[in-house]
Structure 1
Amino acid sequence: MAGSWGSLGRGPAAFAAVAPPAPVWVPSGCRGAQGRFAYKLLHDLFANYSSALRPVEDTDRALNVTLQITLSQIIDMDERNQVLTSYLWVRQAWLDAHLTWDKDAYDGIDSIRIPSSYVWRPDIILYNNADDHFGGSMETNVVLRSDGHIMWDSPAITKSSCKVDVSYFPFDGQRCRLTFGSWTYNGNQIDLRNRLDTGDLTDFVENVEWEVLGMPATRNVITYGCCSEPYPDVTYTLLLRRRASFYIFNLLLPCIMVSFLAPLGFYLPADSGEKVSLGVTVLLALTVFQLLVAESMPPAESVPLIGKYYIATMTMITASTALTIFIMNVHHCGPGARPVPPWARRLILHHMARLCCVYEVGESCKSPPRAPGGRAGRGDAGGPGESPGEGEVGTEAGGCPRDRCPCHHDGLLRNVGYIASCLRRHRAAQRRTSEWKKVAKVMDRFFMWVFFLMVFLMSVLVLGKAA
């Protein structure tokens, strides 16, 4: 059997004649005689032959059928419908006990090629076929040898169902099974076996999206619920790994770059009015990418890895937009706002400001830290440094006895005191407003670095999990 397979060859070469010996000169009459012998052989073989019956001498014995699959090309992998379209060469070999002859009686003819419809053929089909038309193999010739061995090599474009697992998309791998077996003959009638332990990949045309890692073959004998007889089958498991470069450059990298834009919304000045707009725009962009991924994936319970990354990023951007709205509310606190609490003054304006390098105009990271609340304490106390005019008025009022001052001096002092108190209240309100603005600025800078770190860690986790 192995020698006969070797003489048949592979692919389209299987349809060619057996390689003749070195060319010698033969009279034309001899060539015509060999053609007459071939015609006589064909007539004698099929004079009383029926292609409807299993070709065995003893009907109680099983007929051995050898199967070999050659993968030529992966045409398409439809993940959403879970259908694999592939181009295969299906090779079958068996022994027909009714088609034997003595080659010496027919001028040494050892093999002939005849249409496959002339002989009995095993009804080997693809069990997990997903084709609407359920088409079979192409009607090609078979190679019939003098000892009764038949070789049938036929190409076929098959659509097989394949359970697609997209949990690690676009860094996923798939295992698609191609199960071949007889539809009507059980194991007691046809003994189906695989010729090799793997599928033939020597003539495989490389696919731009999928890399073939292997195609192991296993023989199974299954007893179905409908019948008590065993039914053998040969299952080829196609091991595929997705080439992720296309999806990395078109789906993953744009998402990562857009995600790094979200923390920059905290860096925008609050008076620009574009902080919330940036967050909403980034959220819409990620929604578009999420829809593109969802359209190509099957509606399964398992969420793709890139889909999880999109959802996590969108959640983070939603949180950053909500925090931006809260910080803008803090920034725009009016003059009537309460003073900054002592704990916030100590934690935010002192420790977090130094941590995030947020200083007022004229200060830097190398400047000595200013005591928190020093200016506010002096201003609220109404010290001489805050209102020089008030000090002069106070001195003049203290130096001039009340009973010796003219009567109009009392009204003047009251007006000056009212103006001084208004000035103190105005400056205190400005200080409270500036402190709240600084609190908002420190929180902006702090959350910017926090969200930058979150985006970086998420990207590293996604790539690390994929690896």
Structure 2
Amino acid sequence: MEPGAPGLLCLCLCLCLAGVLLAPGCRGAQGRFAYKLLHDLFANYSSALRPVEDTDRALNVTLQVTLSQIIDMDERNQVLTSYLWVRQAWLDAHLTWDKDDYGGIDSIRIPSSYVWRPDIILYNNADEHFGGSMETNVVLRSDGHIMWDSPAITKSSCKVDVSYFPFDGQRCRLTFGSWTYNGNQIDLRNRLDTGDLTDFVENVEWEVLGMPATRNVITYGCCSEPYPDVTYTLLLRRRASFYIFNLLLPCIMVSFLAPLGFYLPADSGEKVSLGVTVLLALTVFQLLVAESMPPSESVPLIGKYYIATMTMITASTALTIFIMNVHHCGPGARPVPPWARRLILHHMARLCCVYEVGESCKSPQRAPGGRGSRGDAGGPWESPGEGGVGAEAGGCPRDHCPCHHDALLRNVGYIAGCFRRHRANQRRTGDWKKVAKVMDRFFMWIFFLMVFLMSVLVLGNAA
């Protein structure tokens, strides 16, 4: 070991030991200065008085609101529940110090209950417990400026307009102001022209378009002094995808089933049942919408669509009952009137492409009331009283036939008359069935067009 090495080693050990012993002392000095500062500041301080040197001057208070999350929007009760960060800043003239006298301490954090705080509340609060901000610490600087950041879950009243639900937008206002101090005592101002949305958590139902802030000075009827407030207007737009896929599209698809009731054969017995089933399904959807909407005079757009569709289905079911009555006209019914034959069986049948077996839309139709074939007229028997023609065809004159030939001809004439009456009844019944079929096809296209136009109208109003 070189000479002088043990002394150098001892010196290093002493310096290290001194550093270990002095460091806690330095930190302890800062703690003692902070304790002394707290004691000196609040020795003669009262948090009940407004901290101004001149009581005739107003205290400037700045407000900044940060929207963190939209928790819930209760349309039925018209209440918006949101999570906010509220920052208030003001100057306390009684809480200043020289930082050089207290070890360079420039700011301290103390409980907010130690200092005077402005009674800024949410004017349109809808919370039954009227909860305020949390009791968080305030940051106190050496020049007397105080900054108080506190989170708050607020329930505010919001006028909800559901006229265009589910394609609606809402404007919810959050109005902050002092409850007891007027504008001559506290001058409340907004720090920024808009609410802070940098830390906003996206909501699954609502899209935030903006949050502008405005300062208002209002003189209320109870008092002659002006009261300033800061109002944040939360601009919301509903995300309509959920309601489109769960309420609107099922309604449109069910609505297109209603005209198909006219396409069902009348003998199936399910025409009226289909209309009633569709009407009940739409009633269920209507009740689901009504449960979430406020009971107001403003009917939502989707509610109007449901009502119009249910009215259309009710009319289609009533028409179906009438057409089924026409279809089941028996042999005792009157013949089809000439105007109905000309209008329905001729013009409307060609318009709706209703044709019989073996015909098509482009094939020429028979004249209204014409006979389809000679066989329809009763075959070889023209009339009960024209038995002589048949007898002459048989080569036996009536005057020279035996007596039993007369009885035979009478029986044949009776059978021919029954056959002709039966064919006439069948023809009359077939005409009424064709009238019912043409009316079914005509109203089917009419109601298809109505459903399409209503759907386009609803989507157009939503846009």
TM-score, structure 1 normalization: 0.91
Gaps of 5+ in 1: 1-17
Distance 1:459 1:21, change over 3 A: farther
Q: 2:105 aligns with which of 94, 109, 114?
A: 109
The Cα offsets for residues 145-179 of structure 1, whole Å up to 9 and x where unpaired, read as: 01100000000000000000000000000000000
Matched length: 450
Moved more, 363-372 or 261-270: 363-372
Structure 2: distance between partners of 1:22 and 1:239: 78
Q: Which residue of 2 aligns with 1:197?
A: 193
Moved more, 148-157 or 419-428: 419-428
Q: 1:396 to 1:26 in 2, by over 3 A?
A: farther
- How far apart, in 2, do the equivalents of 1:335 and 1:70 lie? 82
Q: Report matched runs for 1:23-422 at 5 Å.
A: 27-375=23-371, 393-396=389-392, 400-422=396-418
Q: Give the conservation status (yes or no) of the 8 Å contact 1:260–1:452.
A: yes
Q: Tell whether the 8 Å contact from 1:73 to 1:87 is kept in structure 2 after alignment.
A: yes
SS in structure 1 at match of 2:44: coil
1: CA distance between counterparts of 2:162 and 2:195? 25
Question: Which residue in the other structure is 2:11 paired with?
Answer: none
SS at match of 1:403: helix
- CA separation of 1:336/1:74 partners in 2, compared to 1, >3 Å: closer, same or farther? same
Q: CA deviation at 1:73?
A: 0.1
Deviation track 1:391-428 (CA, whole Å, cap 9, x = no partner) reads: 88535289654432223333322222222111111100
- Pair 1:452 & 2:448 matched: yes
- CA deviations 1:168-204 (Å, max 9, x no partner) are 0000000000000000000000000000110000000
Distance 2:346 2:130 in 1: 76
Matched-pair contact (CA < 8 Å) for 1:376–1:431: no
Counterparts of 2:5 and 2:392, CA distance in 1: 135
Q: 1:107 to 1:389 in 2, by over 3 A?
A: farther
Do the aligned partners of 2:140 and 2:146 also contact (CA within 8 Å) in 1? yes
- Compute the displacement of 1:351 (Å): 1.1
List gaps (5 residues or longer) in structure 2.
Answer: 7-19
1:55·1:97 contact (CA, 8 Å) conserved in 2?
Answer: yes
User: Per the alignment, do residues 389 and 222 of structure 1 end up closer, same or farther by CA in structure 2, a change over 3 Å counting?
Assistant: same
Query: What is the CA-CA distance between 1:355 and the residue it aligns to?
Result: 1.1
- Give per-residue Cα distances to partners, 1:236-288, cap 9 Å, x unaligned: 00000000000000000000000010011011000000000000000000000
**Are the equivalent residues in 2 in contact too, given 1:384–1:390 (CA < 8 A)?**
no
3-state SS of paired residue (1:92) = strand
Is the 8 Å Cα contact of residues 66 and 93 (structure 1) preserved in structure 2? yes
- Separation in 2 of the partners of 1:340 and 1:242? 57
Contact 1:64/1:192, CA 8 A, preserved across alignment: yes
Point out the more displaced range, 355-364 or 139-148.
355-364
Aligned to 2:12: none
Output the CA distance in 1 between the equivalents of 2:4 and 2:378: 120
8 Å contact 2:257–2:278 — kept in the other structure? yes
Distance 1:253 1:22 in 2: 92
Query: How far apart are residue 449 of structure 1 and its match?
Result: 0.8
Q: Percent identity?
A: 94
What are the superposed Cα offsets for residues 109-140 of structure 1, whole Å, 9 maximum, x if unpaired? 11100000000000000000000110110000
TM-score, length basis structure 2: 0.92
Deviation at 1:365, TM superposition (A): 2.2
Measured on the aligned residues, the alpha-carbon RMSD in Å equals: 5.3
Instruction: Quote the offset at 1:31 in angstroms.
Output: 1.9
Check conservation: 2:377, 2:420, Cα contact below 8 A: no
Deviation at 1:389, TM superposition (A): 13
The ranges of structure 1 where at least 4 consecutive aligned residues each deviate by more than 4 angstroms after the TM superposition are 18-26, 376-393, 397-401
